[in-house]
Amino acid sequence: MGPEEAKLVLEDGSVFSGLSFGAPKSVSGEVVFNTGMVGYPESLTDPSYWGQLLVLTYPLVGNYGVPGTEKDSFGIEANFESSGIKVSGLVVSDYSFEHSHWQAKESLGEWLQREGIPAITGIDTRALTKRLREKGVMLGKIVFGDAELGFSDPNERNLASEVSCPEPIVFGTGKPVFAMPDLGAKNSIVRALLKRGCSVIKFPWNYDIFNGRFEFDAVFASNGPGDPKKCAETAGTLAKSMEYGFPTFGICFGNQLLALAAGADTFKLKYGHRSQNQPCLAVGSRRCYITSQNHGYAVDEKTLPKEWKAWFRNLNDQTNEGIMHESKPFMSVQFHPEASPGPLDTAFLFDEFVKLAKGAKK
């Protein structure tokens, strides 16, 4: 018996028919695309994809299988960005039912089925991506048989609260110590700080980190899914961090929240940036970095208040890719310096963050 038939249905009425290679479960979510050529184990476990149906534009997917769940020396999953798959569903053009890689422990299909995540192959992902680029990301659903399923917009929920840790978790014993409101933090961000001799305390997204229970030297807002305006409490935490003079940093979702905390505004992009080759210019220079990205919202840099400036800018669409206070140790970037997957051109930013955290006087 061959693979079961399934359909991807978009809210504009478009229907794409294919074959299932994941769990035979109908789901709905926001349909987004990623143009990266590799890295599906990392992408599928990235909490920033929570609530989304992920379309991979690179045609062949699954050919190197899925690695194991072993931990690194810090006790963190070595091959994944979180514990378990975070996408709601996966859409590809050509799934490789046969895989080969020395690290592979199972096939992509077996992993998806075990985690209860639907996936569909045989889709014209080029035509699908062109539609999403022209009309913008839209709601969609993967449907099996005659299943009745409506469209639901995950961005109406506080998605970050759904992927945040339930209680504080301490990693490492070094200095400086970073307090990290967990909005869906990737393992690689925590690992990048630990590798530099730091400690990280992950907190629930709405935890009062200033209640006196923990000592730390700097505040680091993580990546995460959804609309940053749903996380007003975290923005309030960052505002308080800056008021108290703590070095304050952010990546991706954290960049947007730092902007909100400073008094700026954010907006939803037409179809977002999800790839491993986004060119970003360091503002005021001619230096361009190739960056890994995964976000659907951006900072409106025209709304940045006095004493704040744009730090990086996307050369594809000129949207903001980072902000910086002109005189205080408050800064953030929209892209992912830790990559995973992608280029490590901007990994040096972690060194700068750590140096500022070590030298700042609160």
Which residue out of 252, 280, 321, 325 is catalytically annotated? 252
Does residue 99 carry a catalytic annotation? Answer: no
Q: Are 10 and 139 within 8 A, CB to CB?
A: yes
Is the separation of the CB atoms in 271 and 132 below 8 Å? yes
Q: Phi first, then psi: what are they for 290, rounded to 5°? A: -95, 125
**How far is the CA of 113 from the CAs of 84, 210, 259, in angstroms?**
12, 42, 39
Q: How many CA atoms lie within 13 A of 336 on its CB side?
A: 31
Query: Which among 42, 81, 301, 338 is annotated as catalytic?
Result: 338
Catalytic member of 273, 295, 325, 336 = 336
Q: Is residue 153 a contact partner of residue 129, using CB atoms and an 8 Å limit?
A: no
Q: Would you give the DSSP letter of residue 306?
A: T
Terminal alpha carbon distance of the chain: 66
The phi, psi pair for 230, rounded to 5°, reads: -80, -10
243 is catalytic: no
Name residue 278's amino acid: Q
Q: Give the pair of three-digit tokens for residue 1.
A: 């018996």
The answer to whether 42 is a known catalytic residue is: no
Q: Which tokens in the block code for residue 75?
A: 């006790």
Task: Name the residues annotated as catalytic.
Answer: 252, 336, 338
